Structure 1
Amino acid sequence: MHIYFLQHSPLFGPARMADWLTGIGHSYNHCRLDEGELPPPLANCDALVLLDAFSPPEATLFKRERKLVDRALKSNKPVLGIGFGAGLIAEALGAIVSPAVQPEIGWQPLTLADDSPFDLPEMFETLLWHRDIFGLPDGCLPLGSTPGGPVQGFAWDAGRVVALQCHLESTAQDTAALCNHDLPTTAAAAYVQTRDEILRDPRRFDRQAALLDRVMTQWLDGH
């Protein structure tokens, strides 16, 4: 398969997903919306990944991206969104995206929903980096919840479409760069951690890598 990444920031790249795809034998390419590149035609890829962002791209590019997402959802191609990308999917499926009362930046325990279709542990620790939330669109099955957020993702159309708030793809190096750019000086909010808390245990990122493998395998399997 050939996967296209829609990238909105140099700080939110494919990270471990690129290594995973290469290891499985898939190919991939980037569309750097943050550098003014136009979204590709849907025919140019077999699957689409919408990466996270601090803000939407320029208005004309954003309009094109939303049209591409709509076409992809109506196709039979796998679509995966993370953070901002997950919000684009949620909105396209009819849910409301809004600023979070409690931003979540750092590690949080995620409890799998009873009707979650994801092949993941009943509870696991995951890295979150978001200030927006979205509701669960009609016809979607939930991922699960954290103490600060009731909807941390969902699957739609028998798992062909996946939306995630959590950053299972992030490495320690990626996250250190995020901390340098986007972390408040003090963790004043309830679910915002300090740089030391976030980077304290590198093994957390290794455990996430195993979970990413399960999500990616389930997402692309049979599609």
Structure 2
Amino acid sequence: MVLTKPATVRFNGLDAEPRKDRVILRQPRSSRTSLWIWCVAGFCFVFSLLLIFFAIATLIVFLAIRPRIPVFDIPNANLHTIYFDTPEFFNGDLSMLVNFTNPNKKIEVKFEKLRIELFFFNRLIAAQVVQPFLQKKHETRLEPIRLISSLVGLPVNHAVELRRQLENNKIEYEIRGTFKVKAHFGMIHYSYQLHGRCQLQMTGPPTGILISRNCTTKK
């Protein structure tokens, strides 16, 4: 006897019994964070803690020692020469003592890139560079400065004003000092730019002396 599989009846090309669509469910892959990502995250966390610690420690130290900026002053100055070669070109010779004072009792400072400039009515007429030096705690240093003007050109109105001041025996100059300061307190080091300004009033040459001054020091 031969058994045959009964033929499936189709209607218009469709199965007699509807086929059920099979849905395949896939398991989601488990997201495993790589080891190096954990290492980077741990390093960033530790680094952040160290930054916070050093910031707090620095703040405590600054509040304890209360650092102050050095003081720039000119206690003495002498005006030796002012004369005109032509109506607009003049020569001058000014000597002075610049006083650098470190008011801090626990911080040493080092002065670098020092430049002293002489101005007349905001016109640069002389300049001198000063060699770097170290200043200990609560120390004062007097630095001799010589500012020589050689054939410096002035606008006509400035030249007229300088002649007028010479006749009145009262010359007004401005001194500007710029320097970089490095402060040292144990293992803590920091630096900043400092600007000193002095308004000078002097008698005329050749024995010109300092009548009055007004000095300020700012960062």
TM-score of the pair, normalised by structure 1: 0.17
Which one has a larger percent strand, Structure 1 or Structure 2? 2
Counting helix residues as a fraction of each chain, which structure ranks higher?
A: 1
Provide the TM-score with structure 2 as the length reference: 0.17
Larger radius of gyration: 2
